[in-house]
């Protein structure tokens, strides 16, 4: 049986980041605007791991922590609103800022000013942009999710493995691979997930909690899309629909519909939460 091993090319950065995390006594964690399952899952995983190591750690995001992923955070009080006086105090007292799932200055919004003076660690799997955040970094676009890189760090530290850390990394990989459907669901991604399951993550429970329920607003959006369905051919698609012209009170915020899609049976069109119904992208 093949087990997961951190890719050789990643090892020195993994160790450098591990050492910085282990040296911290008070850390603040952040991710990109409109956190997704990878950003929020990694924050939940890392905050538990740091605290299990005796490091005080807090999550301070540029936009509100998504409700859908709050269950991953061991204690709700560890999430602090960026505009609050407490956030300012915590950043003033911190010795380390950890930026997860982005490495670009504009992507962390107002948190940039809070952590400007702090030593910074970046862990990210996106292609580098033109406004990189400085400091120590572990960046690898070959990783399926930031959760995979975080797993490398915890592996290099030989744990500990709090259950909330395992679940956070699982949620990160689950969501960034679209439920293991995308091409980034690599053998490496599956091996990491196999390790997480072997350590106690319940895949059925995680699927239920992440995908098993959706806000009613999403279904209203779907109703809107389907009642405006046109079978007029466009770009080879069997049908299309247009998004609401103006966001009514029922229209969900962008963060709750991003990444939500399905394929109507017998159709190649994709019903996509954000832009309603569109032809699938060219492959
Ligand atoms: Mn990601």
Q: How far is the CA of 283 from the centre of ligand 1 (A)?
A: 22
pLDDT (0 to 100) of residue 31 = 98
Distance from Cα 36 to the centre of ligand 1, integer Å = 8
pLDDT beneath 50: ranges in the chain: 254-261, 263, 265, 272-283
- In the chain, CATH 3.90.1640.10 sits at 8-211
- What's the pLDDT at 282? 42
- pLDDT at 224 (0 to 100): 75
Distance CA 5, CA 117 (A): 35
Ligand 1 centroid–CA 181 distance in Å is 15
Which contiguous run of DSSP H or E holds residue 59? strand 56-61
Measure 140 CA to ligand 1 centroid, in angstroms.
Answer: 11
- Which CATH number is associated with domain 8-211? 3.90.1640.10
Q: Would you state the pLDDT for residue 235?
A: 57
Residue 257: predicted pLDDT:
46
Q: How many angstroms does the Cα of residue 125 sit away from the middle of ligand 1?
A: 6
Number of other CB atoms surrounding residue 179 within 10 Å: 12
Q: Distance (Å, rounded) from C-alpha 176 to C-alpha 167?
A: 14
* Predicted model pTM: 0.84
Q: Please tell me the distance from the alpha carbon of residue 68 to that of residue 170, in angstroms, as a whole number.
A: 15
- The alpha carbon of 207 and the centre of ligand 1 are apart by a number of angstroms equal to 18
- pLDDT at position 202: 98
pLDDT at residue 222 in the model: 74
């Amino acid at each position: 049986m093949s087990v997961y091993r951190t890719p050789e090319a990643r090892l020195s950065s993994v160790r450098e980041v591990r050492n910085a995390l282990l040296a911290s006594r008070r850390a603040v964690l952040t991710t990109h605007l409109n956190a997704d399952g990878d950003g929020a899952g990694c924050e939940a995983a890392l905050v538990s791991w740091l605290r299990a190591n005796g490091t005080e750690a807090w999550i301070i995001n540029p936009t509100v922590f998504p409700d859908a992923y709050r269950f991953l955070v061991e204690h709700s009080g560890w999430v602090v609103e960026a505009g609050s006086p407490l956030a300012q105090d915590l950043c003033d007292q911190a010795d380390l800022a950890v930026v997860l799932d982005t490495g670009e200055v504009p992507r962390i919004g107002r948190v940039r000013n809070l952590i400007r003076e702090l030593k910074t660690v970046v862990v990210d799997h996106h292609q580098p942009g033109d406004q990189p955040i400085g400091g120590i970094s572990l960046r690898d676009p070959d990783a399926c999710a930031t959760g995979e890189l975080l797993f490398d760090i915890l592996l290099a530290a030989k744990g500990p493995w709090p259950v909330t850390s395992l679940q956070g990394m699982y949620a990160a990989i689950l969501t960034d691979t679209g439920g293991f459907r995308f091409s980034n669901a690599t053998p490496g991604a599956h091996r990491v997930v196999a390790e997480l399951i072997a350590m106690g993550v319940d895949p059925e429970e995680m699927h239920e909690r992440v995908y098993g329920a959706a806000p009613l607003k999403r279904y209203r959006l779907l109703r809107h899309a389907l009642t405006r369905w046109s079978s007029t051919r466009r770009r080879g698609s069997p049908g299309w629909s247009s998004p609401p012209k103006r966001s009514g009170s029922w229209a969900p915020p962008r963060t709750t519909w991003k990444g939500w899609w399905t394929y109507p049976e017998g159709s190649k069109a994709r019903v996509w939460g954000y832009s309603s119904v569109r032809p699938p992208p060219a492959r």
